[in-house]
Structure 1
Amino acid sequence: MHRRTLFAALAAPALFPAAGRAQGTWPDRPIRFVVPFAPGGTTDIMARVLAPRMTAGLGVSVVVENRGGAGGTVGHEIVVRAPADGYTIMLGHIGTLGVNPSLYPRLSFDPVEGVAPVSMVALVPNILAVHPRVPARNLQELLAIARQRPGELTYGSAGNGSAAHIAAAALGHAAGVDWTHVPYRGSGPMANDLVAGQIDFTMTGGTVVMPLVRDGRLRALGVSSAQRMRAAPEIPTIAEQGVPGFETTQWYCVVTTAGVPAPVIARLNAEVRRAMTDAEVQARLAAEGAEAAPGTPEELGRTIRAEVARWADVVRRTGMRAE
């Protein structure tokens, strides 16, 4: 997987009282930016788009640290258990914050109450992409193969609870077919095996698969958003191919440890929003099928709660589990 070119810096730092100190400023040392998945996936790409801009605005290094494992719960726990000082943040997404509370009901930490919302970052439609050896040229042909050979088609994901796991399991349930999940330790290794023909398909973000589709190494059959992507209008939606109402759009956000003082969260939010409203960043994301969607901590908190409820029902109905 080739890496994305990251963007130049902007913005000057402002000062806020540091947590637990009578004097001084925040931030006054590097900030740890945890990505709970391996390098190469959409979560990693988003964090590496944000980090240089936040570094420039905050005046301290924002250092991306990949801590994958157990569907994102390894990196997630690091953030929950960090000191509540704002020096540890995470690039969370639909899986870690929306699905994992139901997929991993016995976690030793609270995945929702243990973090403080900072800002939504972006929305990313899932693209259903198959290896060229799979004969299907559209969704209905893929579903026909799945019905003829129950459980034989394999789909890859970045791990249990990842966006690709969620999307493909939900599609299988909606369409009434069975296919087999193959979890990886990140989207990069998964994409490599898909290109090599070790698995049949994936259903993940355009930032991962669109370069491979454009190179002819994968074939795109559908997109999970309600409307076609502006960057690839030739790819039909899942809904218009016989699965009415189907929509599973990934969302990505920044969170920090619960208990971080409000002024620090406000500063982090300002820097995320500054980065994501930059025209160059938006254009680059749009080219990959992503839409910048920064907002307030309160808006993100409401989204997380709504998504936890939504995906608890999906996990129950599909029987989705952490293999």
Structure 2
Amino acid sequence: MLGPLTRRGFVCAAALLAGFGLVATKADAAPFPSQPIKLVVGFPPGGSNDVVARIIAPAFSEVMGVPVVVDNRPGANATIGTEFVARSAPDGYTITLGSASPLAISPFTYPNIPYDTLKDFVGITTVAMTPELVAINPKVEAKTLQELVALGKKRQLTVSSSGNGGLPHLAIELFKTTSGADVLHVPYKGAGPAIVDTVGGHVDAIIVDIAGLLPLVKEGKLRALAVTADQRSPILPDVPTTADAGLPKLIAVNWFGIMAPAKTPPDVVQKLYEGLVKAVNTPKVKEQLLNAGMEPMLMSSPAAFQTFLVSELDRWGAIAKASNARSD
């Protein structure tokens, strides 16, 4: 049997250990966020997704009070990096900045895609957007989109994109079906080489994000004909929309959204949402996005973003099936 002193010592030791346990439990349940947040981008540095991530990350870090580290994991039209986040712990510390191609289009154009956008993720909010831009080599005999369509009914038009199976590819398929022009899609391994060949006159036209074409349009090396949106872009206010130009169904907007793994706690999702809204609404971030050819785009709530995702999957799924567009 334990003596009085021994018994008292045992009780004190037990209480002390329990106290340590209580401290450990509280430490384990530290308020979110208490460590760096990894923002995964499925494309290499320099592309639109990467540009948006690096504009937002510093302001997001300041709002959240922890480092926000951009982690590029490129490959297979961002499906590699997107899958990485889908399989990550649902604790809010590994999230992805995705866009229309990997989240709403690749599920229909890539065989055996390793994730389900709606089942494997929870949407937080969109942060930016950019319409696609229809631009041509200045030597092509067309000053407007209507004139380009008319030319495409006389001869075949070659239109370049950043590759098979992404948003620019489907925008070209939309252009073909809505205009009735004879259009040949010419895919490249990225926007860079597609732009180079369009400027060089090897193809007639190009459809990609505004951001990649903006400097060349300003330099006169490409002629901008229309933005694929229902409202003019503040970045190119003198360029008509496809709706203005008589093709109201040719709408292709590339949006950039933040996603977390499914089963991320709702309170963590809400904190991430509130932090992103504050970050994107800062004047510096707005200015940087506009200078990069983007426009701020925020959802009213994570639930609103989830509803938006469903509508985008429905729309682009139908277009992909109708055109039989496939990835490389």
Q: Give the TM-score normalised by structure 1.
A: 0.84
Call closer, same or farther: CA 1:40–1:148 in 2, change over 3 Å: farther
**Given the alignment of the two structures, is residue 31 of structure 1 paired with residue 37 of structure 2, yes or no?**
yes
Gaps of 5+ in 2: 1-24
**Given the alignment of the two structures, is residue 146 of structure 1 paired with residue 124 of structure 2, yes or no?**
no
The one-letter code sitting in structure 1 at the alignment partner of 2:166 is S
Counterparts of 1:66 and 1:43 in 2: how far apart (Å)?
10
Counterparts of 1:189 and 1:85 in 2: how far apart (Å)?
39
Aligned to 1:167: 171
**Given the alignment of the two structures, is residue 61 of structure 1 paired with residue 89 of structure 2, yes or no?**
no
RMSD value, Cα = 2.5
Deviations along 1:124-157, whole A, 9 cap, x unmatched? 221112233434322233334434443x613122
Structure 1 residue runs of 4 or more that deviate by more than 4 Å after TM superposition: 196-199
Q: CA deviation at 1:299?
A: 0.7
Counterparts of 1:161 and 1:134 in 2: how far apart (Å)?
26
Are the counterparts in 1 of residues 171 and 250 from structure 2 also a CA contact under 8 Å? Answer: no
**Given the alignment of the two structures, is residue 306 of structure 1 paired with residue 311 of structure 2, yes or no?**
yes
Deviations along 1:7-29, whole A, 9 cap, x unmatched? xxxxxxxxxxxx99743343333
The one-letter code sitting in structure 2 at the alignment partner of 1:45 is V
Counterparts of 2:261 and 2:204 in 1: how far apart (Å)?
38
Call closer, same or farther: CA 1:66–1:201 in 2, change over 3 Å: farther
Q: CA deviation at 1:80?
A: 0.8
What SS does the aligned partner of 2:117 have? coil
Call closer, same or farther: CA 1:262–1:20 in 2, change over 3 Å: farther
Q: CA deviation at 1:289?
A: 5.0
Could you tell me the percent identity over the aligned residues?
32
Q: Give the TM-score normalised by structure 2.
A: 0.83
Are the counterparts in 2 of residues 122 and 291 from structure 1 also a CA contact under 8 Å? Answer: yes
Q: CA deviation at 1:73?
A: 1.1
Call closer, same or farther: CA 1:124–1:165 in 2, change over 3 Å: same
Counterparts of 2:226 and 2:316 in 1: how far apart (Å)?
22
Are the counterparts in 2 of residues 125 and 248 from structure 1 also a CA contact under 8 Å? Answer: yes
Aligned to 1:5: none
Are the counterparts in 2 of residues 34 and 90 from structure 1 also a CA contact under 8 Å? Answer: yes
What SS does the aligned partner of 2:322 have? helix
What SS does the aligned partner of 1:99 have? helix
More helix by share: 2
Among 261, 264, 267, which residue is 1:263 paired with? 267
Call closer, same or farther: CA 1:74–1:198 in 2, change over 3 Å: farther
Counterparts of 1:66 and 1:188 in 2: how far apart (Å)?
18
The one-letter code sitting in structure 1 at the alignment partner of 2:322 is R
Q: CA deviation at 1:71?
A: 2.1
Among 182, 185, 189, which residue is 1:184 paired with? 189
Map 1:246-257; keep pairs closer than 5 Å.
246-257=250-261
Gaps of 5+ in 1: 1-18
Call closer, same or farther: CA 1:67–1:189 in 2, change over 3 Å: farther
Greater Cα radius of gyration, structure 1 or 2: 2
Call closer, same or farther: CA 1:198–1:59 in 2, change over 3 Å: farther
What SS does the aligned partner of 1:137 have? coil
Are the counterparts in 2 of residues 130 and 200 from structure 1 also a CA contact under 8 Å? Answer: yes
Call closer, same or farther: CA 1:143–1:57 in 2, change over 3 Å: same
Q: CA deviation at 1:59?
A: 2.7
What SS does the aligned partner of 1:26 have? coil
Among 228, 232, 242, which residue is 1:238 paired with? 242
Count of matched residue pairs? 302
Moved more, 108-117 or 46-55: 108-117
Moved more, 279-288 or 170-179: 279-288
Q: CA deviation at 1:38?
A: 2.4
Are the counterparts in 1 of residues 129 and 254 from structure 2 also a CA contact under 8 Å? Answer: yes
Call closer, same or farther: CA 1:113–1:197 in 2, change over 3 Å: farther
Aligned to 1:108: 114
Counterparts of 1:257 and 1:194 in 2: how far apart (Å)?
39
